[in-house]
Structure 1
């Protein structure tokens, strides 16, 4: 999975990788040539007292060293640019893929995990790219080139290399085999930490209302300790690897000095050659150590690449049609034809046998007890879910055959939990339509009964809105969400229990303004409050996912026992208020 990911995203940057390869090889060749020059200076210049030779060779070594520095800097720049570009491209694609998901896929992955995959996991792949583009070229060049150059210096001491290199490879292999499962566990623990942190931030009011700060802190502390334990075990393996590798390196150098000294004393090897051999041994072991370090990074990046690939390869249940319909034959119509919907793995469908029609300009209300499937039903209209049975038609076209952008442009949705974005009142309202004028924004606010409180805010339309709209009340949040949907100029308005935070008077005034100002807009209204739906053209009563009745308020009082129970439960709390609203 990691290989496919890298091949896919590195293809546009092959020229940068070629640059890294060229400059890294040049740097490696310079490193391999310098010990030979050093040996020449000691054996020829120093031993013979030839100052001119020393200056000539020394100047050459200085020039090569400066060239090596320049090559290393250039190669690192190319590698960093490649890695940053790769990370940008992956994040863009992951974001676009997640944006195409239905609620089913988002729930399957979890929002916390999706955030981690698009941040930390991408970062791991980036680190592997930048380190691999440098080390994976330098390491084999130093190791293989060092062996060749060492053999050219002295074949008699080469047995030390034959012993030390396998020793380092064995140590690295044992350590890395222990790290692979730990890296996978670490990413899962990180998902858990992000999930808990996100829940506590978004649910801070609930946490404080129920005095759960201590319990939530303990829950986070547990998740944080779990990731610390795994990280400590990974760190312990890192700590074990490098001292052992340095031990092998130092023992090898001692061996070179010991046995090389014997050869020098016997007159078989010159001192400069011995020093060059020692440097080549160091470069060989350094190359092997660099390769070992890369093999440590690869497992973690492989886990991250697999997690990223899962998102990129995930098929959304919202499959775009091969030949999407962009021209709708009707306007403002909604039709459910024997619709059924089941969640994956559910024993029974959430909705079953749903059949009704809404003509242009009509108001269709949906009522029912909690869990009866109201929100799921209206989610099928903008195709947030796909029906598992039957057909849903909008403007005369099956939503599964309609172009998604065209479909969504005709629908204004006010969700059960209205969400506002960080910015201003105006920027949130223009989320419905970017080219809306200030007059249109004020008109939408007036219909949504939000003009008064916006005018009182500091800055009015330019008043700041915090993330999620936490600096405004629940009722104000609902009215701003309704105004945003109105700015969108939809043919169909879907209100998913969007009046629940409003008082009875504001609720009534808002509905009257909607019916008066938008007579040709079809309105699908989910509500718990009977006073909100009594003036609807038709009311659909849901009971355990099935239609228990359909008709006007007066008709359902006579024909639907479920509807009568709902009405009576609210009439008991204040009959006159409900009757007045009706």
Structure 2
């Protein structure tokens, strides 16, 4: 497994040491038990010495009980160490993902990150738990059992010197043949999880277009691929058992031949042969354990490499040692900004953008699909870094800010509104976890959400299901706006966030903005001209460039794109009436 991940063991080092320690003690007891049994047979039973049989029998029971207790303790510590290790790995992955920029997250699909945090971590957990238990047990059991066999019968002990490497090599060969197939499975798991996640999230669309059969076929296709890969790997691993059985029976037959001959010539006792057979089974079963753990480690190796990819990912953005922690005001400056999602040399989504926005202004942004409106606003809270030029907030380059301080003062309501499982109070308090009920209700009134919330039987204690699927699109938008307002930001960005509300509600929201947060810089991306018509400035974007800037009246005179949109909406609306 990837050694880099071992640092996640942390506070479970004690359990990781105690588990193999108790395993060693368990093995010592198990190795001594056959020797004790041989004494009972060869001395007690053969001589008819009942007191000796009882005495040795009591010792045998005590040794068996000790072996049982050591085994239970070893299993307990191993389970605790494995579970703790997995807990820390999930913690480290999750915290690492929180540091990622959007560009980092783009390197991994959502389903892939979920698979790594669940299936892959479970594989590593099981391999680690079995390793600290069985890998400590098997080598010691093999060595001690062989030494005990050597003290009883040298010829049988020499037989094991041939069998052990032969059987061990065969089992390892089988494991290595299966390994590539297990690796391929996990990549397909990512695809499978992605298909399931996409289907569940888009359940309404699937049903609306009656595409259940298509989705089922798509699921069965990838599921069949995972099945085929697992089946191929398991077919190879299935050779473990018959190979093991073949060697077991062969060794037992050889031991019976050698031991039987020695018993006939009275160079070996019957009890000694019984003990040697037990030792042989212990040696061979230990080799089987090693093979089993080896397969698990090889599976876990693929998983640990996938986990390490996430943990080794270098966050694209990080705070400078002297990062600015106070945002003075909501002024925004774009100076010669170019931006490409692919980085330097990639196709530019924004091209030579220059603009100055005063603190407290209301800015409307309008433009066709693909004009990079959303890309423009995502650079302000530094969700992405510019490829060229600079973005400044309050006169300071956003790259010089402490990320938490910057984003705490830039509230952004994205196109895809997201609510979390919990009450409406819980969701709104994402903006300020310490906000009172009155403060939550106040921002909901500003966002025109209070009316419909009060209509719910449980009011603000209404539970929002996962994804917010028990509220409408317009209701979800207004709750997200209220959440953003609760932060009391210096900059408020609405990325087409009122598209699902009617024009009257839209107008009331904008009126509340003007009256209640006049000092906050407000940037409103909209498809409707009416949503930005009364803005201080309107930015018209086209193909990643600023095509025009001005008030609605100025743009009607000077900008063809704005005039075309305005006339198609306003005049079209009048004709419909």
TM-score grouping bracket, smaller chain normalisation: over 0.9
Structure 1 match to 2:233? 234
Gaps of 5+ in 2: none
Asked whether 1:266 is paired with 2:259, we answer no
Give a deviation string over 1:143-171, Cα, whole Å, max 9, x none.
11111111111102223213322332232
- Specify the SS of the correspondent of 1:119: helix
TM-score norm. by structure 1 comes to: 0.96
Gaps of 5+ in 1: none
Aligned CA distance change for structure 1 residues 577 and 353 (closer, same or farther; 3 Å): farther
Give aligned pairs, total: 576
Q: Distance in 1 between matches of 2:216 and 2:165?
A: 49
Q: Tell me, yes or no, if the aligned pair for 2:178 and 2:234 is still in contact at 8 Å.
A: no
Cα shift at 1:229? 1.2
Cα shift at 1:10? 2.5
User: Residues 283-322 of structure 1: matches in 2 within 5 Å?
Assistant: 283-322=282-321
Structure 2 match to 1:178? 177
Structure 2 match to 1:119? 118
Q: Tell me, yes or no, if the aligned pair for 1:496 and 1:526 is still in contact at 8 Å.
A: yes
Asked whether 1:60 is paired with 2:59, we answer yes
User: Residues 527-542 of structure 1: matches in 2 within 5 Å?
Assistant: 527-542=526-541
- Specify the SS of the correspondent of 1:156: helix
Asked whether 1:331 is paired with 2:340, we answer no
Cα shift at 1:409? 1.3
Cα shift at 1:575? 4.5
Give a deviation string over 1:57-78, Cα, whole Å, max 9, x none.
1111111111111111111111
Structure 1 match to 2:488? 489
Q: Distance in 2 between matches of 1:115 and 1:382?
A: 26
Q: Tell me, yes or no, if the aligned pair for 1:425 and 1:464 is still in contact at 8 Å.
A: yes
Structure 2 match to 1:384? 383
Q: Distance in 2 between matches of 1:477 and 1:498?
A: 10
Structure 1 match to 2:569? 570
Cα shift at 1:561? 2.0
Give a deviation string over 1:216-247, Cα, whole Å, max 9, x none.
01101111111111122222223221121122
Structure 2 match to 1:5? 5
TM-score norm. by structure 2 comes to: 0.97
- Specify the SS of the correspondent of 1:335: strand
Asked whether 1:356 is paired with 2:355, we answer yes
Aligned CA distance change for structure 1 residues 408 and 290 (closer, same or farther; 3 Å): same
User: Residues 99-498 of structure 1: matches in 2 within 5 Å?
Assistant: 99-328=98-327, 330-344=328-342, 347-498=346-497
Q: Tell me, yes or no, if the aligned pair for 1:362 and 1:521 is still in contact at 8 Å.
A: yes
Q: Tell me, yes or no, if the aligned pair for 1:164 and 1:249 is still in contact at 8 Å.
A: no
Give a deviation string over 1:424-454, Cα, whole Å, max 9, x none.
1111111111111222122111111111111
Asked whether 1:17 is paired with 2:19, we answer no
Structure 1 match to 2:30? 31
- Bigger drift between 559-568 and 203-212 goes to 559-568
Give a deviation string over 1:23-74, Cα, whole Å, max 9, x none.
1111011111111111111111111111111111111111111111111111
Q: Tell me, yes or no, if the aligned pair for 2:330 and 2:521 is still in contact at 8 Å.
A: yes
Give a deviation string over 1:97-134, Cα, whole Å, max 9, x none.
11111222222210000000001100011101111111
- Bigger drift between 302-311 and 335-344 goes to 335-344
Q: Distance in 2 between matches of 1:480 and 1:449?
A: 9
Cα shift at 1:381? 0.9
Show structure 1 runs of 4+ deviating over 6 A: none
Cα shift at 1:390? 1.0
Q: Distance in 1 between matches of 2:509 and 2:575?
A: 20
Q: Tell me, yes or no, if the aligned pair for 1:20 and 1:76 is still in contact at 8 Å.
A: yes
Q: Distance in 1 between matches of 2:9 and 2:418?
A: 37
What's the C-alpha RMSD, in Å, of the aligned pairs? Answer: 1.5
Q: Tell me, yes or no, if the aligned pair for 2:179 and 2:233 is still in contact at 8 Å.
A: no
- Specify the SS of the correspondent of 1:269: coil
Q: Distance in 1 between matches of 2:530 and 2:393?
A: 27
Q: Distance in 1 between matches of 2:463 and 2:9?
A: 41
Q: Tell me, yes or no, if the aligned pair for 1:249 and 1:285 is still in contact at 8 Å.
A: yes
Q: Tell me, yes or no, if the aligned pair for 2:337 and 2:352 is still in contact at 8 Å.
A: yes
Cα shift at 1:11? 4.4
- Specify the SS of the correspondent of 1:547: strand
